[in-house]
Amino acid sequence: MQFVSRLFVPALVSFIVGVGIAAYVSMSPIAVMLLLFAATLLFCMVVLGAKRVRYLLFGICALSVALGMLRFSLWADAPNDPVLSSAFGKTLVLRGVVSDEPDVRETSTQLTFSVNELVDGERLGRVEGKMLLIVPRYPEYRYGDVIEIRGELKKPESFSEDDGRVFDYPNYLKTKGIAYQMFHPDVTILGRGKGNLVKAKLFSAKHAFLERLGRSLPEPENALAGGILLGGKRSLGEEWTDRFREAGIVHIVVLSGYNMTIVAEWLGVAFLFLGFYGSLTVSAAGIVLFALMTGAGATVVRAAIMALLVLFARLTGRTGTMGRALLVAGVLMVLQNPAILAFDPSFQLSFLASLGLVFVAPFLRERILMFRKHPMIDEVLISTLATQVVVLPLLLYQTGILSTIALFANLLVLPLIPVTMFFAFVTGLLGFLGHAVAFLPALPTSAFLAFILAVGKYGAALPFAALHLPPISGWLVFLVYAMLALFIYRSSCLVTEETPPRAL
């Protein structure tokens, strides 16, 4: 069993490495063929009996790298609709369905539009593809709306940030299956309710809940409550989002496993009085409820799966088994959509934060016991340090913002997140019974939210609260993560014997 484990983990890691190499380095088919030839040669040497274990390991790794490169190449070469791909820069009339929840911003709305038909005079031609539409905030659109649009078809382009960082926007959209754009087209609603019935009901329930919540809470507390419960950071606006980013607490309102894993952990800690299985049930139910209320999209489902694996690993102490399960889950997600490894920040943060909580947190827990009489404070410190250490290189590469107060701000905020979520959820539910009924839980909800907002506001206002760094080389980030992976491996986190469950 140990022999299989020693081959299994390197094979999965090698597959991810292969996908990463193909994503960032232009590789010819010859490179894949050479790797396959090398793997075949190594397997032949195993058959001949020459140092079987070593050559078998090298052969499996070479094969896995080649398969990872091949999988990404197949994704990158997938053809788009030939009619649409030849019409960039032209004005088209298209019909289709709003296939995802509208992303409402401060001054505009982004619609994911699944194209079905091309209108050419009196004729209708069959076309297929996903398109991102930038439309005014009003009138409001809903998931499942059948619409006709008229506008100039655009090809997504990369863009540079103010600090010189280049964001690969085309590949980011491609992770969502989107290959086309239209800015401010003329839109006509032809019908409603043509989407998936289950998703439509989930989105409807979410909007009804947020509406009731908004009747009981003032702004910006209401926007923050929606962000913490449902990951809607856009509702906070750019100003508050920037403050939270500089204070190092923006992860509590980002729709990814970064916040989901932390929230799941703290739901378990907050409900320890229910016993082992009680706290585990509450945490798992919180993750599932979160995923359902956000519409159970691909990004949320991926984050929820990783958060559940982290939850079981942390509460049972089975970091070795759950670590391999987390790796398997990550590989399956990359196998299904290889672009998420390189171009989806949400998946990257989710996966790294999960790894931090599974592998780095136990290492820190053995060495950090500052508040023996207050173990919850220790857990906040350990969880925050574990996730910050693992995601920091990626965040610096993506944003260039180093929050010097992130640890202190998280120590103030994270212990309040479970209780804030609880009171906000109760406020929203009781809002269906009337504002007078929801008034009582709204009072502590507003108080907790106001405190979190104050930490973000005044923390970001401190001198040198955030340092803006110049662009960092991707190779340097890769080297840092390679060293971190080596450290984790040498600490025997991947193949250690199972540790006993955490004392509850």
pLDDT on residue 493: 47
Tokens linked to 472:
């960092």
Whether the pLDDT of residue 315 is over 50: the answer is yes
Q: Are residues 344 and 394 in the same domain?
A: yes
In a domain, 497, yes or no: no
pLDDT on residue 145: 93
pLDDT on residue 326: 80
Residue 27: which domain range?
A: 2-76
CATH classification of the domain holding 181: 2.40.50.140
**What pLDDT, in 10s, does the model give residues 228-267?**
877 655 567 788 888 888 888 887 776 555 556 666 666 6
* Mean pLDDT, residues 288-301: 70
214 Cβ neighbours under 8 A, 6+ residues apart:
222, 226
**What pLDDT, in 10s, does the model give residues 373-425?**
555 566 667 777 888 888 888 888 888 888 888 888 888 887 787 788 889 88
Residue ending a domain, choose from 172, 195, 218: 195
Pick from 61-65, 87-91, 172-176, 234-238: least confident: 234-238
Total-model pTM: 0.77
Distance (Å, whole) CA 301 – CA 424? 23
| SS3 label, residue 360 | helix
- Backbone CA torsion sign across 39, 45, 48, 52: negative
Q: Are residues 256 and 326 in the same domain?
A: yes
**What pLDDT, in 10s, does the model give residues 427-471?**
998 999 888 889 899 999 999 999 999 999 999 999 888 888 888
Q: Are residues 188 and 217 in the same domain?
A: no
pLDDT on residue 98: 93
Distance (Å, whole) CA 108 – CA 184? 9
Whether the pLDDT of residue 292 is over 80: the answer is no
Whether the pLDDT of residue 1 is over 60: the answer is no
pLDDT: which is higher, 372 or 459: 459
Residue ending a domain, choose from 76, 109, 130: 76
Q: Are residues 188 and 221 in the same domain?
A: no
> Read out DSSP for 57-112?
HHHHHHHHHHHHHHHHHHHHT----HHHHT-TTSEEEEEEEE-S--EE-SSEEEEE
Domains identified in the chain, total number: 3
In a domain, 375, yes or no: yes
Q: Classify residue 489 as exposed, middle or buried by CB count within 10 Å of its CB (0-12, 13-18, 19+).
A: middle
Distance (Å, whole) CA 290 – CA 311? 15
Q: Are residues 258 and 404 in the same domain?
A: yes
Q: Are residues 177 and 93 in the same domain?
A: yes
Residue ending a domain, choose from 166, 195, 224: 195
Tokens linked to 43:
């397997």
Whose structure tokens read 């507390």? Answer: 221
Average pLDDT, the chain: 80
Whether the pLDDT of residue 163 is over 80: the answer is no
Q: Reduce the secondary structure of 164-196 to three states and give it as a string.
A: CCEECHHHHHHCCCEEEEEECCEEEEEECCCCC
